[in-house]
């Protein structure tokens, strides 16, 4: 592996989304901090809700939000499907273990277990739908900027921004390594050769990263870098975000009030 | 590995988040600005690596490599993993915001443990020592994560979660084997490619004269 | 028909191949065939799609449309392609894209190991291949310490070690001095296998090609039968 030119290490490169996630369209313009704050707040709130009626309401509200997001904000059905699949794959484990009890008389059906599993499923799906709706069309850069704007500690924000920039570079390197291996007949199988090859490729990836870090260090020191990266420029929050805010807060308020209406 | 949103209860989420925040703060304090790019690059590597599927007969497992990350990053593994998990939660992958603290804790704490357990093996990097270090780091990383996940679930749901805990631990076993094997082989190869890098301890160098 | 004769029919057949990269159409309606006695040269300016074509032939790049047949087999998905990589060998334009190291001999044995050879046999085969290319002195050297020409030869050794029946070569002589280029071309001729060479180097064309076609902006522009 030869050392790439120093210019390529310029942290100013525009980067894309990490590999494995469909590239986001340059969808929403403007600052995403309101939406990120909503997503975090909604997740935390919903995670604490117990009442079945509230959870059903939230599922409906979140699904509606997703429908809007698909129509107006560039939420791709493929992304939504992938997330729901991931969440529900875990929930299969929950359903396999909670409702059934292995007692001395064999399998017993536990009503409590079913209830708990149902509650967990509702929460998990409601949160997944809400987050999908609120964060549709955002790429890694948007997230990083939004998090920084929301007051993440300075060094943490810098770490996040740097990581997002390097994800594209490292992802590209991995693709090249994977392609080199496949071009010479490698195919991932359940055998020891696969583990050996993947370990080899991982080592090359790590070496690449460590070498690049050395070069970045040299480049920064050559420019008498004193340790402070530029502050993240703030842009305006799009008006549509306030609509989402109203909708989300209203839905959450209803969810919290529902149990008290009987 | 990660727990999904909506499983753990409030107090558990809060306690885990608090502990994770402490770890992140400590990690950030020990990470000086000059080493930020290195930590970010390694974080990117582990994020990319986590997308790799390894077939194991029935289906496949993902690489986790939290132990290896801890070995190379030290306490900095807390903020690095927290950021990675935050990105995953936001970019419509797995995980979540409410459970971010818990997931950070269960992945990063064993990673730091792996760091302390294995880093002396990096001092004189011969192949057997590197293999041992990688395997040990991988084992501590996954076993630790499974154990912490079990503890968090137990704290949340008590007896109702017993079977779930058992199933999760069982599911972690092939992950452990894969992570330990790949970690060992990768570290040994890395020792051949960049011997000086390992000896210096990339991000969290052992205390001593620089 | 002689017993043991090579199967008739083209070793590579492409019909209507279209490839898109980042929303841009890189190849459009490319069709051609190569039979077992040919060495086809593909000429064209940079960006015309030569590399993409070679990568698509090996299934390393997804195709939008079209049909690819390698060694008589239709190749549609990754499993089909994975089965013929080795018998169909690709030499990348940039050795950096190909060499995995760490040492030269370990890199050359990478392919044979993937094909299922035992470690000792693969190592032996690798050394033999290095000898045949005259670079056995480089066997233990780390890959990144080699010169450009040496890297190209090492990469070629890695491909030839898999006993390919067809070769795909992406600018094999680019960046090489005249001497190394001649050595490389001689080695390629010595293999006796059919090949597709993407190159705008005259020496390549003169020594290797039996036939040529030109790519412009992703389309086949002309078929040339001359080797001038």
Instruction: Kindly list the residues from chain C whose CB atom is less than 8 angstroms away from the CB atom of residue B193.
Output: 101-102
Query: Do residue A171 and residue A246 come from a single domain?
Result: no
Flag whether A2 is in a domain.
no
Question: Where do the domains of chain B lie?
Answer: 10-200
Q: How far apart are CA C202 and CA A185, in angstroms?
A: 31
Residue with the two structure tokens 């079913």: A114
Q: What is the pLDDT of residue A178?
A: 96
Closest partner CB to A21 (pick from B40, B86, B93)? B93
Closest partner CB to A2 (pick from C60, C92, C96)? C96
Q: Is the pLDDT of residue A15 over 50?
A: no
Chain A interface includes B169 (CB < 8 A): no
Query: Do residue A133 and residue A92 come from a single domain?
Result: yes
Q: The pTM is what?
A: 0.88
Query: Do residue A162 and residue A212 come from a single domain?
Result: yes
Q: What is the pLDDT of residue B159?
A: 75
Instruction: Kindly list the residues from chain C whose CB atom is less than 8 angstroms away from the CB atom of residue A204.
Output: 100-101
DSSP calls for chain A = -PPPPGGGG-TT----PPTTSPPPPS-S-S--HHHHHHHHHHHHHHHT---HHHHHHHHHHHHHHHHHHHHHS---HHHHHHHHHHHHHHHHHHHHHSSEEEETTEEEE-HHHHHHHHHHHHHHHHHHHHHHHHTTT--HHHHHHHHHHTT--HHHHHHHHHHHHHHHHHHHHHHHHHHHHHHTT----SSHHHHHHHHHHHHHHHHHHHHHHHHHHHHHHHTT--S-PPPPPP-PPPHHHHHHHHHHHHHHHHHHHGGGG-
At the top level of CATH, the class of C38-59+85-224 is alpha beta
Query: Is A182 close to C85, i.e. CB distance below 8 A?
Result: yes
User: What mean pLDDT comes out for the span B197-210?
Assistant: 55
- Substitution target in C91, C100, C145 with the highest count of A β-carbons within 10 Å is C100
Query: Do residue A134 and residue A148 come from a single domain?
Result: no
Percent of chain B predicted with pLDDT > 70 = 93
Q: What is the pLDDT of residue B121?
A: 86
Phi, psi for C28 (deg, rounded to 5):
-135, 120
Query: Do residue A42 and residue A130 come from a single domain?
Result: yes
Q: Which two tokens stand for residue B65?
A: 């490599």
Query: Is A156 close to B97, i.e. CB distance below 8 A?
Result: no
Query: Do residue A149 and residue A199 come from a single domain?
Result: yes
Q: What is the pLDDT of residue A154?
A: 86
Query: Do residue A201 and residue A246 come from a single domain?
Result: no
Query: Do residue A45 and residue A128 come from a single domain?
Result: yes
Q: A260 falls in which pLDDT band (50, 70, 90)?
A: confident
Instruction: Kindly list the residues from chain A whose CB atom is less than 8 angstroms away from the CB atom of residue B75.
Output: none
Q: How far apart are CA A67 and CA A44, in angstroms?
A: 22
Counting as contact any 3 or more CB pairs under 8 A, the partners of B are A, C
Q: Is the pLDDT of residue B151 over 70?
A: yes
For chain A, the residues whose C-beta falls within 8 A of a C-beta of chain C are 1-2, 176-177, 179-187, 193, 197, 200-201, 204
Checking ipTM against 0.85, whether it exceeds it is yes
Question: Where do the domains of chain C lie?
Answer: 38-59+85-224
Closest partner CB to C100 (pick from A180, A185, A193)? A180
Chain B interface includes A118 (CB < 8 A): no
Q: B118 falls in which pLDDT band (50, 70, 90)?
A: very high
Chain mean position to CA B135: 13
Flag whether A166 is in a domain.
yes
Q: Is the pLDDT of residue A6 over 90?
A: no
pLDDT digits (tens, 9 = 90+) for C92-140: 999 989 999 899 999 999 999 999 999 999 999 999 999 998 899 999 9
Q: What is the pLDDT of residue A4?
A: 40
Query: Do residue A157 and residue A124 come from a single domain?
Result: no
Chain A interface includes C60 (CB < 8 A): yes
User: What mean pLDDT comes out for the span C143-148?
Assistant: 90
pLDDT winner (highest mean) among A69-73, A97-101, B94-98, C138-142: C138-142
Flag whether A28 is in a domain.
no
User: What mean pLDDT comes out for the span B76-87?
Assistant: 95
Flag whether A228 is in a domain.
no
Q: B73 falls in which pLDDT band (50, 70, 90)?
A: very high
- Substitution target in B24, B53, B91, B103 with the highest count of A β-carbons within 10 Å is B91
Residues 237 to 256 of A: which have CB under 8 A from any B CB? none
Q: Find the range with the poorest average confidence among A174-188, A191-205, B47-61, C112-126.
A: B47-61
Q: Is the pLDDT of residue B20 over 50?
A: yes
Query: Is C92 close to A180, i.e. CB distance below 8 A?
Result: yes
Instruction: Give the domain range for residue A200.
Output: 10-17+144-222
Q: What is the pLDDT of residue A29?
A: 58
Q: Is the pLDDT of residue A3 over 60?
A: no
Q: Which numeric CATH code is attached to B10-200?
A: 1.10.1760.20
């Amino acid at each position: 592996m030869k050392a790439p030119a120093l210019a390529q290490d310029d942290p100013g490169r525009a980067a894309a989304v990490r590999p494995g996630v469909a590239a986001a369209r340059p969808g929403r313009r403007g600052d995403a901090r309101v939406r990120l704050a909503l997503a975090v707040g909604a997740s935390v709130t919903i995670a604490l809700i117990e009442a079945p009626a509230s959870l059903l309401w939230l599922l409906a509200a979140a699904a509606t939000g997703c429908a809007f997001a698909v129509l107006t904000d560039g939420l791709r059905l493929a992304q939504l499907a992938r997330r729901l699949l991931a969440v529900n794959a875990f929930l299969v484990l929950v359903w396999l273990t909670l409702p059934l009890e292995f007692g001395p008389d064999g399998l017993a059906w536990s009503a409590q277990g079913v209830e708990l599993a149902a509650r967990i499923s509702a929460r998990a799906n409601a949160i997944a739908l809400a987050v999908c709706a609120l964060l549709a069309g955002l790429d890694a850069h948007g997230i990083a900027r939004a998090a920084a704007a929301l007051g993440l500690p300075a060094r943490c924000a810098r770490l996040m921004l740097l990581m997002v920039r390097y994800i594209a570079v490292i992802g590209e390197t991995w693709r090249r390594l994977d392609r080199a291996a496949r071009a010479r007949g490698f195919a991932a199988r359940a055998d020891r050769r696969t583990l050996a090859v993947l370990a080899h490729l991982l080592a090359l990836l790590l070496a690449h990263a460590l070498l690049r870090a050395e070069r970045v260090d040299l480049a920064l020191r050559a420019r008498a870098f004193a340790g402070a990266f530029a502050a993240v420029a703030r842009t305006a929050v799009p008006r549509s975000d306030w609509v989402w805010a109203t909708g989300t807060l209203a839905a959450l308020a209803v969810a919290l009030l529902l149990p008290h209406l009987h | 590995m990660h727990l999904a949103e909506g499983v753990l209860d409030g107090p558990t989420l809060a306690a885990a988040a608090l502990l994770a925040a402490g770890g992140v703060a400590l990690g950030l304090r020990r990470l000086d600005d000059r080493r930020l790019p290195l930590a970010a690059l390694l974080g990117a590597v582990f994020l990319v690596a986590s997308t790799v599927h390894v077939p194991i007969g029935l289906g496949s497992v993902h690489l986790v490599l939290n132990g290896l990350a801890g070995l190379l990053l030290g306490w900095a593994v807390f903020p690095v993993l927290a950021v990675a998990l935050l990105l995953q939660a936001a970019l419509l992958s797995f995980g979540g915001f409410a459970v971010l603290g818990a997931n950070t804790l269960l992945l990063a704490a064993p990673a730091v443990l792996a760091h302390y357990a294995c880093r002396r093996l990096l001092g004189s990097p011969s192949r057997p020592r590197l293999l041992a270090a990688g395997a040990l780091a991988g084992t501590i990383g996954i076993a630790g994560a499974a154990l912490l996940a079990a503890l968090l679930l137990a704290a949340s749901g008590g007896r109702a979660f017993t079977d779930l805990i058992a199933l999760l631990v069982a599911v972690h076993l092939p992950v452990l084997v894969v992570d330990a094997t790949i970690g060992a082989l990768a570290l040994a190869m890395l020792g051949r490619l960049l011997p000086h890098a390992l000896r210096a301890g990339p991000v969290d160098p052992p205390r001593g004269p620089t | 028909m002689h017993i043991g004769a090579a199967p008739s029919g083209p070793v590579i057949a492409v019909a209507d191949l279209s490839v898109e990269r980042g929303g841009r159409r890189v190849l459009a309606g490319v069709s051609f065939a190569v039979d077992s006695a040919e060495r086809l040269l593909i000429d064209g300016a940079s960006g015309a799609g030569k590399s993409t074509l070679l990568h698509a032939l090996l299934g390393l790049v997804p195709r939008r449309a079209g049909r690819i047949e390698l060694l008589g087999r239709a190749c549609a998905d990754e499993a089909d392609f994975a089965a013929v990589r080795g018998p169909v060998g690709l030499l990348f334009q940039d050795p950096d894209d190909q060499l995995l190291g760490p040492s030269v001999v370990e890199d050359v044995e990478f392919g044979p190991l993937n094909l299922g050879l035992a470690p000792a046999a693969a190592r032996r085969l690798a050394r033999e291949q290095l000898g045949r290319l005259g670079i056995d002195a480089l066997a233990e050297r780390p890959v990144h310490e080699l010169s450009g020409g040496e890297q190209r030869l090492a990469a070629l050794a890695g491909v030839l070690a898999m006993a390919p029946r067809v070769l795909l070569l992406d600018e094999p002589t680019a960046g090489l001095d005249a001497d190394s280029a001649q050595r490389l071309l001689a080695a390629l001729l010595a293999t006796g296998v059919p090949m597709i060479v993407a190159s705008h180097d005259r020496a390549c064309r003169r020594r290797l090609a039996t036939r040529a076609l030109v790519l412009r902006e992703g389309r086949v522009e002309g078929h040339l039968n001359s080797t001038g």
